[in-house]
A and B are shown apart, each in its own frame.
Chain A
């Protein structure tokens, strides 16, 4: 591994030519906060969507006599069952 003795100072200087960014930590925190909130939002949207789909099925489909609340519960359970 010693054949680079002459070039290593140049390589070091080349890697060193970019300077650390003092704003990077704050930017990383902000990006992760956004990502976490998106992560929480996605299941919420899926749950709401499944509930609505269940409601629509019950209301317009064969099970029109089903109560809307149980349809929503069924839709949500279906979704989570499917996801697992």
Chain B
């Protein structure tokens, strides 16, 4: 299928998209908690695949592994891009890694229960911190596997996790009375 797509066969490529895009979309949706952002990330991942399909058919690398890694990094970039726009309009230090500025309506109006409080807190984390947490705490990846997916070192993932958990504790415990 991939080799056909690599030769420019659009129907073969569409079949590939139908087969694998749920997996990509679900990661993006869980990470961004926003359907429109998840759509955008999914399209961008498969557009890249379409552009590189010819090379893929020759290398025969594992498609899922590649999709996973590209999705993880697109999610992070997407969060960073949103942060950049926010800094541009509101001002702020360029040294601070931006958090996703698009909390859900629920998050904006004040979290009422434990779950929505954690959800809201997750969205305020910097994209790399949130991704490290997603990969390790949700997907169950080891630190080394998470590091590989994010293109960083296991030590960096540990640091991201520690900072993310500390920040989450501050945010969720600070709101309890």
Q: Which of A7, A17, A22, A31 interacts with B119 by CB under 8 Å?
A: A17
Asked if residues A3 and B115 are in contact (CB atoms below 8 Å), the reply is: no
**B66 / chain A contacts, CB cutoff of 8 Å:** none
Asked if residues B115 and A17 are in contact (CB atoms below 8 Å), the reply is: yes
Minimum Cβ distance to chain B for residue A70 (Å): 32
The answer to the question of B153 belonging to the interface, with a C-beta cut-off of 8 Å to chain A, is no
Asked if residues B14 and A29 are in contact (CB atoms below 8 Å), the reply is: yes
**A13 / chain B contacts, CB cutoff of 8 Å:** 115, 118
Instruction: Name A residues whose Cβ lies closer than 8 Å to a Cβ of B.
Output: 1, 3-4, 7-8, 10-18, 20-22, 24-29, 31-33, 35-36
Q: In the complex, A15→B120 CA distance in Å?
A: 11
Asked if residues A4 and B10 are in contact (CB atoms below 8 Å), the reply is: no
Task: Give the B interface residue count (CB, 8 A).
Answer: 39
Q: Contact string, B17-45, partner A, CB cutoff 8 A, digits 1/0?
A: 11001100110011101010011001100
Asked if residues A10 and B114 are in contact (CB atoms below 8 Å), the reply is: yes
Minimum Cβ distance to chain A for residue B119 (Å): 4
Asked if residues A35 and B47 are in contact (CB atoms below 8 Å), the reply is: yes
Asked if residues A15 and B134 are in contact (CB atoms below 8 Å), the reply is: yes
Minimum Cβ distance to chain A for residue B164 (Å): 9
Q: Which of A7, A12, A26 interacts with B165 by CB under 8 Å?
A: A7
Asked if residues B17 and A15 are in contact (CB atoms below 8 Å), the reply is: no
Q: Which of A7, A11, A29 interacts with B18 by CB under 8 Å?
A: A29
Q: Select from chain A the residue with minimum beta-carbon distance to B25.
A: A24
Q: In the complex, A29→B143 CA distance in Å?
A: 34
**A35 / chain B contacts, CB cutoff of 8 Å:** 43, 47
Asked if residues B133 and A11 are in contact (CB atoms below 8 Å), the reply is: yes
Asked if residues A21 and B29 are in contact (CB atoms below 8 Å), the reply is: yes
Q: 7 other contacts beyond A7-B168, A25-B25, with CB at 8 A cut-off?
A: A1-B143, A4-B133, A15-B30, A15-B138, A28-B43, A29-B18, A31-B39
Asked if residues B138 and A25 are in contact (CB atoms below 8 Å), the reply is: no
**A24 / chain B contacts, CB cutoff of 8 Å:** 21-22, 25, 29, 38-39, 42
Q: In the complex, A7→B122 CA distance in Å?
A: 12
Asked if residues B17 and A29 are in contact (CB atoms below 8 Å), the reply is: yes
Known: A25-B25, A28-B21, A32-B47. A12 touches B137 (CB 8 A): yes
A-B residue pairs, 8 tightest by C-beta: A24-B25, A14-B118, A15-B138, A14-B119, A25-B21, A28-B21, A20-B26, A11-B137
Q: Which of A15, A31, A32, A33 interacts with B122 by CB under 8 Å?
A: A15
**B33 / chain A contacts, CB cutoff of 8 Å:** 17-18
